[in-house]
Structure 1
Amino acid sequence: MRKTFKTNSALHRFMMTIVFLAVAAIVTSACGQEAGNGKLIITATTGMITDVVQQVGGEYVEASGLMGAGIDPHLYKASQGDVKKLDDADVVFYNGLHLEGKMAEMFEELEQRKPTVAVSKYLTEEQLHAAPDQGAGMHDPHIWFNVKLWISATEVIRDTLIEKDPSHADYYKEHAAAYIKELEKLDAYAKEQMALIPEASRILVTAHDAFGYFGEAYGLTVTGLQGMNTMSEYGSKDVSKLRDFLVEKKIKAVFIESSVPKKSIESVIEGARKLGHEVTIGGELFSDAMGDAGTVEGTYIGMVKHNVDTIVAALK
């Protein structure tokens, strides 16, 4: 009888250990990776958002982005690896306004389990541009091209980090304030540089219509071959229309984009040439993606400065 009791006790302890480990695993999973190294694990979609998270979160976040240099977010589909990054994250940041159109259902599902935040959420209807070619009630998602609007995105990220990790609130506030000062300098720089272009030459022609906010903020007329979303197809009528626009306005330079195949804009250049009007490529702009990691253009501020300097050099 005594022997049976000992055996049952040992079995009981073994079973309790298994239950404890199972519960611990569930709790660890529910808490995300935050408990592992004291850092918030952040997954963002575009490089522009990832950069701001790193600037504001500093040493208290571990941020990774899904979309690297040259990646078009309009066409992006999440891989198995991306799904794991999203599942493992404590917080997910995305642009919103249907920029990441193929991931919309995924964000809705994630919102049920963890903070899944659109950095555009503080922007008002008055601040946003309508996107009639995308459907009723749709907006232009390229908000990062107006630096003032990107300050709003920075504030969303700051407030979300504070809410998730209030013990480091002062740190996030201080880093956000310092970064916003740099953004204000960038905004002033863009305005000063664009003023160097003769008014008649302030026409920006690109592969797709991503620079509407940029044009409004810094005084340029903007047009693109494709619509605001690169999922929209362009045809011969679009090419002819843009070709005629270049000839009529005597535009000498157009721009390719790092995330859009340049063959689209090359067909317009060739069409203008056949009409006796020479147009050159003024340079490559970063539109829906930043430059390579580790380069100046691989940061938001560096990307915007590159675009400004490239545009001014070609049009001035």
Structure 2
Amino acid sequence: MRFSRRVFMTVAAAILAAPVCAAEKLNVVATTGMIADAARQVGGDLVDVRGLMGPGVDPHAYRQTRTDIVAMTRADLVLWHGLYLEAQMEDFFHDLEGKRRVVAVAEGLPKDALKGHDDYADKFDPHVWMDPALWSQVVTEVRDSLIELQPESKAAFEANAAVHLEEIAKLATYSDEAMSTVPNEARVLLTAHDAFGYFGTAYGFEVLGIQGISTQSEAGLNRISELVDMLVERKVSAIFVESSVSDRNIRALIEGAAAKGHEVKIGGELFSDAMGVDGTYEGTYVGMIDHNITVIADALGGEVPTRGMQGKLSAGS
């Protein structure tokens, strides 16, 4: 069949006038809320992100469900933390690597920037999100993973990442300023498990956890007794509970100190291995760390805005 020049030009004009189809959204699955937030911030409208572990979920003990397995085997990209954080899922991820694009976003961090693991000689402390400077490198890894998968969207991913990294830089500045107001003698941070080691290094705090780096570590009676004696001897006034760890051991410390005539209060609840409720400011990485910094500084005698660096923290945070 031959087309007249008039018909050909009409068809060509229609093709040129038609809108260019946007790149198809990438289906991304992330283990922790922190990684899911990074993927959403960098991916923007070009990604659909599903986070497996919601508020209050402990990644050290988490095991994939059937629904998780289906989601990950159908995903374009699976992002997990690594550094033995998702200890119960590692074998699954290594098996999945042969079928899907799977990236452990914290494994590429410089080893000289990482802290050793208390329980495993060949492992590292995975809680790198507690230092915004380290977490920025993880965000960059998320950006590069998205670009590798969808290179035609490189400019958008880079622009989104630049905006988010600037937000994290402002968070780091606020954190430095807030922590500098805490008196030196009060710089002891005691929590349910040892998730704040990078925080301690970044801001000059002595950090103590009742349990070790993993919540799977057991806190024995000797450990509780030693910490009670420390609280009394050093007159520590506040200790902290965590949103993803039982407060049973924290209560035992408070009762033990009280039995020796020393009052210790709960300084507040901190987000350690999981963020706040989805859809809230504390349900983002920036809001999570803003909350922690503000709560810690306020409880230990520092000077901080009541509602955090941007005035966005929920009342009572």
Distance, in Å, in 2 between the alignment partners of 1:111 and 1:134 is: 27
Q: Does 1:255 align with 2:229?
A: no
| Alignment match, 1:272 | 257
1:95 aligns with 2:81: yes
Residue 203 of structure 1 is aligned with which of 188, 191, 194? 188
* CA apart distance, 1:121: 2.6
Deviations 1:171-200 (Å, cap 9, x if unpaired)? 001111111111111011001000111111
1:175 aligns with one of 137, 156, 160: 160
Task: Map 1:274-293 onto structure 2 (within 5 A).
Answer: 274-293=259-278
Q: Which has the higher helix share?
A: 1
The alpha carbon displacement at 1:119 in A equals 1.1
Q: Are the aligned partners of 1:75 and 1:230 in contact in 2 as well (CA < 8 Å)?
A: yes
Please list the CA deviations of residues 35-82 of structure 1 after superposition, one character each: whole Å capped at 9, or x if unmatched.
x98111000000000000000000110001000000000010111111
Q: Secondary structure at the match of 2:181?
A: coil
Counterpart position of 1:21: none
Say if 2:116 is the partner of 1:130.
Answer: yes
Structure 1 consecutive aligned stretches of length 4 or more whose deviation exceeds 4 Å = none
CA–CA separation in structure 1 for the residues paired with 2:29 and 2:151: 19
Whole-angstrom distance in 2 between the partners of 1:286 and 1:161: 27
Residue 306 (structure 2) pairs with residue 306 (structure 1):
no
Larger Rg: 1
1-structure distance, mates of 2:114, 2:71: 30
In the alignment, is the contact (CA less than 8 A) between 2:238 and 2:266 conserved in 1? yes
Give the Cα–Cα distance (whole angstroms) in 1 for the partners of residues 189 and 70 of structure 2: 40
TM-score w.r.t. the length of structure 1 is 0.87
Report sequence identity in percent. 47
Preserved contact between residue 121 and residue 156 of structure 1 (Cα < 8 Å): no
Inter-partner Cα distance in structure 2 for 1:268 and 1:45: 32
* Alpha-carbon distance, 1:122 to partner: 2.5
Which residue identity does 1:181 align to in structure 2? E
SS where residue 160 of structure 1 aligns?
helix
Q: Which amino acid aligns with 1:234?
A: A
User: Cα RMSD between the aligned structures?
Assistant: 1.3
Distance 2:229 2:132 in 1: 32
- The alignment partner of 2:227 has SS state of helix
1:253–1:281 Cα contact (<8 Å) kept = yes
Name the TM-score, length of structure 2 as normaliser.
0.87
Aligned residues: 281
Tell me which of 159, 170, 180 is aligned to 1:185. Answer: 170
Q: How far did residue 110 of structure 1 move?
A: 1.0
Residue 3 of structure 2 corresponds to none
1:152 maps to which residue?
Answer: 137
- Check whether the contact 1:93–1:117 (CA below 8 A) recurs between aligned residues: yes
> What residue is the counterpart of 1:105 in the other structure?
91
Where structure 1 has 5 or more consecutive residues not aligned to the other structure, the ranges are 1-35
- The answer (yes or no) to whether the contact 1:297–1:303 under 8 Å persists in 2 is yes
3-state SS of paired residue (1:267): helix
Are the counterparts in 2 of residues 290 and 303 from structure 1 also a CA contact under 8 Å?
Answer: yes
